Amino acid sequence: MFRIQVPLDRLLGLGLAKQTQWLRCCSLTFKNRHAMTDPQPYPPRRYAWFVVFVLILASLIAFIDRQVVAIVVGPMQQDLGVGDTEIGWLYGVFALFYAAAALPIATLADKRSR
């Protein structure tokens, strides 16, 4: 525990108080012992760019995953012989499932170790 006390004459700027008088109401107490230590150094620039690249790659994969139905809709429509109405239903069901599954999966990811 750290305690910082300010002399009254320095606080008021008057020079009238004795150096032995301390202003108790202005003392600060820190419970964290590491609050006054130097912060951790930054990671190397090379590692930081690697992390940026991995995050961009993960974002790209997530975007492609969300758009996979739009990518394969033409060949799927010809192969299965379905019309535009059925494809519209497929888009709707996929979007509802994706939205409904996002919240429980996000909660699970926050509570569990990745």
- Domain match, 25 and 62 both: no
Residues 59 and 18 in one domain: no
Same domain, 31 and 50: no
Closest CA relative to residue 102, chosen from 92, 110, 113, 90: 110
CA angle 34, 35, 36 (to 5 degrees): 90
**H helix intervals, 1-114:** 8-12, 45-66, 68-80, 84-111
- CA distances for 37 relative to 10, 27, 32, 40, angstroms: 25, 19, 10, 9
Task: Provide the domain limits for residue 24.
Answer: 2-36
What are the pLDDT tens digits along the chain (114 aa)? 455 665 655 656 655 554 444 444 455 555 555 555 667 777 788 999 999 999 999 999 988 887 887 888 889 899 999 999 998 998 899 889 988 998 898 898 888 875
Is the domain of 50 the same as that of 76? yes
The pair phi, psi for residue 42, each rounded to 5°, is -70, 150
91 and 64 fall within a common domain:
yes
Task: Give the global pTM.
Answer: 0.43
Domain count, the chain: 2
Same domain, 27 and 49: no
Q: Which amino acid would we find at residue 38?
A: D
Statement to judge: residues 20 and 62 lie in one domain: no
